[in-house]
Structure 1
């Protein structure tokens, strides 16, 4: 979110600002106990979280350190300030108050700056519920497998990878029935329901409020003999309510960042975000297409989450039918997140599915899955179907969790790139379907055969798109380079040690030596 600089030139403007309840982020100057926490990391993160970061080569930094609660308490005590939540990653708190009361916080010696959600922009009103869904009548089982088989997830499941030992955080608007419905009985009996938190109300009462989260969760984690299996039926789940369905204000973005921080501290692997933010009740606080460059508060939080090793899967949005704004909504624009669009059961683009690119030109969505007539189990424990990228996102989130279970040592970025390269439009991605419909069976086969034992003194490196091989004791008579679909792109039998890769586009490639007796992966940015 861009910082707004207020130039107060008249008493009238001051009066207008004073009358409004504004949302703002108050940033602190430091974390006084930073080094003590970094020296004793188990005082701020679980061992599982530390192990995940170590596997992925992620170094702890000041963003992992808890905020100074004395600072927070001081903010809460200030006149006219309504404290809502906090973000350790950004070292800030979200407050609501009148302009002069918030501005007075700048006088505190530990306050670095104040950013306002009100951007004073004339954003056009988009009268569309961005995640509205049309429910179909009850369906017979039979079409329920389509959303799984479309992305060849059944092949990954058949190999025994169904999300076991993987943790997913679901951020949504409520989870009624999850504690009682039979569709989640297996999750409960296997102790895969780990708990959660309501960041809106500030308590642990998560099994109420809006139905949306329960339906999203069912697509990943519900199980019913002969009728339904989710995309990650043996994963474990934390449930976080971050969306207040009774209002539309910027504090929901802060609630989400707070939930992501908690997920990171608990060692969560995958986060599903079937939410999106663009229009708020106060037009001046709304986002515009120009903000879809990763600059909003929630998108910056999502980018940090990805940098911390979380695999963040988010819905693209349901603005595809809106001529004045068909684009994605935050945090789908964040760098490092996996943005999911929607297709029909016949694999054509859903007309409601938001399109890219981001404002700074990055392709979005990343991939697509079935979001039209997606099979789910509702809050009344009934089999239904629903429409929206809210539902294509958990199809992929569960699939990614199953993939994490199969390859726990792979980084989220490696897994996302492998999935992109498996998809139907990998050679020609666009801003309608992104890279297309992925093939998780192909990803599993490719990554399973990615590496062969290398000689001890074997080395290779890529600099300025030139691959150099130092083969050690082995004699290299042939070098072949393949994409993740197994297509041969470059072949050399002259025994050269350096190869120009400038003809290859960005992506992951497999280099095979001597007809595959030795092989390794390279990534071209």
Structure 2
């Protein structure tokens, strides 16, 4: 039976019906589901398929795109604007008057409606939009050498991972933020650009490839992971590859931004992203009718929390900022409340809790934030290539996300939940967590040792091809599963162009790459029974 989700039985005035509302519109069964799942390359990239296979994540109906004819019909309805769509939830995010949205229930393919304002109160008098990046935008412009940036890495023992040659090679990080001006022309990212490790961009707010956006926030966030300025500044994952997605409109605060965030996560999953950093959070909106109460922040209720949990189920590892409401709302917002997300609070350069950092627990009693990193006077590179300091959990999150990516690089076959738990268990307060600090500050040397002790490698190698060493200097070897003795190897450029095809055998398993230029390649190993694909770095 069709129903209105979360719609109370209340008296609605005519003026209430005339106000613009926002809602999720849930749709009927998708088309071509069986055919799409049987031919997953039609809906996912090969990298996404390989990541799901490696982590034993099923490809299911949620991976199939929304039926486009439904979206076309919704767009044609009087007064309705379609802002976003979600394949995971099989829904569209729309705006219109309450009556116009309710009329969508007359369409045969609309099954439910969930209003963002559960009580549908009258729209109040507008208030000035609060700058959610107020803390981050208060700069202390100084000239730093490498040592200044080193503190935020060494606090986590992230430098230990770099010393083990784990700097993010082959890992793909998705960054969801408010704008990324001048990334291509910024000297901090010149190496990323020249090595073709900026894999793609998209603005979900304006539906375009350009991601300049309404804020410089994303550029600074990206720098704490991906920047490299020799002798001056190094991010925590300087050799990773990146997708940049704008999901936030810094000029306003509306719940549609949670829908853009969901859509970006779906795009990230389909592209094979491993780690996602989100230095965004939602609790209060321009229209207070949409505000999330503390009771809403139980990890499963808000649109952003549900999106995060779906992304977690799909095998990605999400890292997010706890928020800067330590002196206001107090508690972490969303998606920081989500069960399937690693939430990062802020400390100062001495590892002491920063008073602006949002705290826990969640309303259902879970520890949040999970762990901490430097967020007070964190070192960043701005949109002009200047090294400066900003404060906020917006920067403790990418500092942590980059190190997490390097850790996962050391054992890419590990599951996302295993990596997250190992990070928590390595932290300074794991045995005695607090509301302010969660489990404390992780030690990634300890986390690395714990990762190497995971008892999953033998089972994995007995049933999969493996490639070593990676990165490659001149050649690499392929180890074979127990029951397979021959295969065909395909070496492709990162854009998918076939460079080499070669037969390979268990007793003749070396592949020479000495004639290839430095960079990233996709290597597929195929037998009749099995296919594994690897991201290979040629040095």
The bucket for the TM-score relative to the shorter chain is 0.7 to 0.9
| Root mean square deviation of aligned Cα | 2.1
- Alignment partner, residue 389 of structure 1: 393
Answering whether residue 162 of structure 2 is matched by residue 157 of structure 1, we say: yes
Alpha-carbon distance in structure 1 between the residues aligned to 2:296 and 2:10: 24
CA shift for structure 1 position 7: 2.7
Q: 1:379 aligns with which of 380, 383, 399?
A: 383
Q: Per-residue CA shift, 1:238-297, capped at 9, x if unaligned?
A: 000000112111110000000000000000000100000011111111111111012101
CA shift for structure 1 position 8: 4.9
Answering whether residue 108 of structure 2 is matched by residue 109 of structure 1, we say: yes
- Alignment partner, residue 272 of structure 2: 267
Conserved? CA contact 1:23–1:96, under 8 Å: yes
- Alignment partner, residue 419 of structure 1: 423
Answering whether residue 431 of structure 2 is matched by residue 432 of structure 1, we say: no
Gaps of 5+ in 2: 460-539
Q: 1:317 aligns with which of 320, 323, 329?
A: 323
SS of 1:143's equivalent? helix
Alpha-carbon distance in structure 2 between the residues aligned to 1:68 and 1:186: 40
Alpha-carbon distance in structure 1 between the residues aligned to 2:10 and 2:439: 48
- Alignment partner, residue 344 of structure 1: 348
CA shift for structure 1 position 3: 3.3
Alpha-carbon distance in structure 2 between the residues aligned to 1:220 and 1:411: 22
Q: Which sits farther off after the overlay, 203-212 or 40-49?
A: 203-212
Alpha-carbon distance in structure 1 between the residues aligned to 2:143 and 2:120: 45
Answering whether residue 9 of structure 2 is matched by residue 3 of structure 1, we say: no
Gaps of 5+ in 1: 456-525
- Alignment partner, residue 225 of structure 2: 220
Alpha-carbon distance in structure 2 between the residues aligned to 1:120 and 1:287: 12
- Alignment partner, residue 179 of structure 1: 184
TM-score of the two chains, using structure 1 as the length reference: 0.83
Conserved? CA contact 1:131–1:275, under 8 Å: no
- Alignment partner, residue 509 of structure 1: none
CA shift for structure 1 position 100: 0.8
CA shift for structure 1 position 405: 1.1
CA shift for structure 1 position 145: 0.4
CA shift for structure 1 position 119: 2.3
Alpha-carbon distance in structure 1 between the residues aligned to 2:150 and 2:139: 18
CA shift for structure 1 position 4: 2.3
Q: 2:141 aligns with which of 137, 142, 147?
A: 137
Q: Which sits farther off after the overlay, 382-391 or 137-146?
A: 137-146
Answering whether residue 200 of structure 2 is matched by residue 195 of structure 1, we say: yes
SS of 1:145's equivalent? helix
Q: Per-residue CA shift, 1:375-398, capped at 9, x if unaligned?
A: 000011100010000000000110
Q: Which sits farther off after the overlay, 13-22 or 365-374?
A: 13-22
- Alignment partner, residue 398 of structure 1: 402
Alpha-carbon distance in structure 2 between the residues aligned to 1:164 and 1:391: 22
Alpha-carbon distance in structure 1 between the residues aligned to 2:52 and 2:227: 29
SS of 1:94's equivalent? strand
Alpha-carbon distance in structure 2 between the residues aligned to 1:254 and 1:453: 38
SS of 1:271's equivalent? strand
- Alignment partner, residue 446 of structure 2: 442
CA shift for structure 1 position 89: 0.3
Conserved? CA contact 1:131–1:389, under 8 Å: no
Conserved? CA contact 2:213–2:249, under 8 Å: no
Conserved? CA contact 2:192–2:239, under 8 Å: yes
SS of 1:246's equivalent? coil
Kindly tell me: are residues 300 and 382 of structure 1, through their superposed partners in 2, closer, same or farther at Cα, counting changes over 3 Å? Answer: same
